[in-house]
Amino acid sequence: MYAIAIREPGDPEVLEWTEQAEPRPGPGEVLVEVTAAGVNRADLSQRQGNYPPPKGASEILGLECSGTIAELGEGVTGWRVGDEVCALLAGGGYAERVVVPAAQLLPVPAGVDLVDAAGLAEVSCTVWSNVVMEGGLTEGKLLLVHGGSGGIGTSAIQIGRALGARVAATAGGPESLRFCRELGADPVISYRDEDFVEVVKGLGGADVVLDNMGASYLDRNLSALAPDGHLAVIGMQGGRKAELDLGRMLVKRLHLSVLGLRGRPVEGPTGKAAIVADVRERLWPHVVAGRVRPIVAHRVPLPEAARAHALLEAGGVHGKILLTRS
């Protein structure tokens, strides 16, 4: 089997297409023949040596993929060899084949291309678990999405709109702002030229904020929240440490969650299996109906993963970059 290996921590050029040991499914697992894999910012951090995989997970990059089930491990039910699936992974997606816990599989939704489905699992489970399961977003509430034109942001805008919420989104240049507006965000806010706090407070405050910046946005995010609002931090592009005003949180009854997805256990009340099951039951019907769809900016051959990483690092990517087998 061939897969992408990291020669040493560094720039995209350290990624190499090399022969690797063939994975085999254990009890409760399946072997997936990979059709495509999604590229996420977490992959860039791992390549740079800043985000090691959880204990026991594959060292190979890749947190989501699509493909066809090639083999079932002992005890797996509900799936058959040949089923087309997309999968949430703790690692291993940048490869010809990957082993996945069966509980982390999702069927490819009707009407979605098998390649494009590679960009669904990670973003869907991240957004759904933070914005809906933790943040409690429902119809009529206001969701503020930072980085609205990226992979997570494009998914969050669509999910919010599908649920009947109003969605505000921040983005950079005019093209990115227009892209967010076309997906249903209103208002769209330039983080270069506008104060998102004032814009959102003018709407009565956000009920849920989905934030990828972390420390640099913490104080402003709390200011932008409505009473009883929820701030969900999923990234630290703006740093890890900031001063937290607990008094403001107390007066406004605010909630703060900082939750990762990759390191969660498979089972348990907060495990990946529970998230995947909820996504399948409550979000997948919106995907089948076309209200939520994978937004794909680039398809890059899997052996050229270095080029895909360089594209994502350069910025300006609207939606997802996918690595494909052909």
Q: What does the pLDDT look like over 144-198, one tens digit per residue?
A: 999 999 999 999 999 999 999 999 999 999 999 999 999 999 999 999 999 999 9
- Could you tell me the pLDDT band of residue 326, with boundaries at 50, 70 and 90? confident
pLDDT at 76: 98
Question: Which has the closest alpha carbon to 217: 200, 231, 202?
Answer: 231
Q: What DSSP assignment string belongs to 240-302?
A: S-----HHHHHHHT-EEEE--STTS-SSSTTSHHHHHHHIIIIIHHHHHTTSS---EEEEEEG
> In whole numbers, what is the pLDDT of the chain averaged over residues?
97
pLDDT at 107: 98
Average pLDDT over residues 131-144: 98
Average pLDDT over residues 253-260: 95
- Could you tell me the pLDDT band of residue 104, with boundaries at 50, 70 and 90? very high
Are 175 and 156 spatial neighbours (Cβ–Cβ below 8 Å)? no
Are 235 and 214 spatial neighbours (Cβ–Cβ below 8 Å)? yes
pLDDT at 134: 97
Only one residue has tokens 């949430």, namely 88
- Could you tell me the pLDDT band of residue 41, with boundaries at 50, 70 and 90? very high
Look up the pTM and report it. Answer: 0.95
- Could you tell me the pLDDT band of residue 323, with boundaries at 50, 70 and 90? very high
Q: Residue 122: exposed, middle, or buried by beta-carbon count in 10 A (0-12, 13-18, 19+)?
A: buried
Contacts of 279 (CB under 8 A, 6+ apart): 106, 124, 125, 128
Which CA distances in Å does 303 have to 13, 86, 283, 310? 12, 20, 32, 14
pLDDT at 1: 96
What domains can be seen in the chain, in order of their start residue?
2-120+294-324 (3.90.180.10), 124-258 (3.40.50.720)
The fraction of the chain above a pLDDT of 90, given in percent, is 98
φ and ψ at 91, to 5 degrees?
Answer: 160, 165
Give SS3 for 49: coil
Residue type for position 55: K
Question: Which has the closest alpha carbon to 158: 174, 137, 175?
Answer: 137
- Could you tell me the pLDDT band of residue 123, with boundaries at 50, 70 and 90? very high
Residue type for position 216: S
- Could you tell me the pLDDT band of residue 63, with boundaries at 50, 70 and 90? very high
pLDDT tens profile 281-304: 999 999 999 999 999 999 999 999
Per DSSP, helices labelled H in 128-245 are 151-162, 174-183, 196-201, 218-224
pLDDT at 272: 98
